[in-house]
Amino acid sequence: MKLINIGYGNTVNSDRVVAAVSADAAPVKRIISAAKDNNTAIDATCGKKTKTVIITDSNHVVLSALDISHFTGFTADEKEGENEDE
């Protein structure tokens, strides 16, 4: 289990992450709104502007104030490491 820092001392299990997307697009804003209505939104922004939305395999939507560039490359680096172990 690898934990990904999402800001302000909060972490997410990388095995459960399905997608990390920018919060600027209208469809993502609708996903956030629906998650808040369904009580599946987890706000980890500590009152800051939401920049990244993380969607998990359990349909939870995690809001992060960190920029999307912070999250890019995690899966590629992890898969390269897994291939070296085999």
Please report the pLDDT score of residue 81 as a whole number. Answer: 53
Please give the pLDDT value at position 12: 96
16 neighbors 56 (Cβ within 8 angstroms)? yes
pLDDT (average), residues 50-68: 97
Contact 36, 74 (CB under 8 A): no
Q: How far apart are CA 70 and CA 39, in angstroms?
A: 26
pTM: 0.82
pLDDT in tens, 69-85: 988 776 555 555 555 44
> DSSP states of 42-76 as a string?
EE-STTSPP-EEEEETTS-EEEESS-GGGTTTHHH
pLDDT in tens, 21-52: 999 999 999 999 999 999 999 999 999 999 99
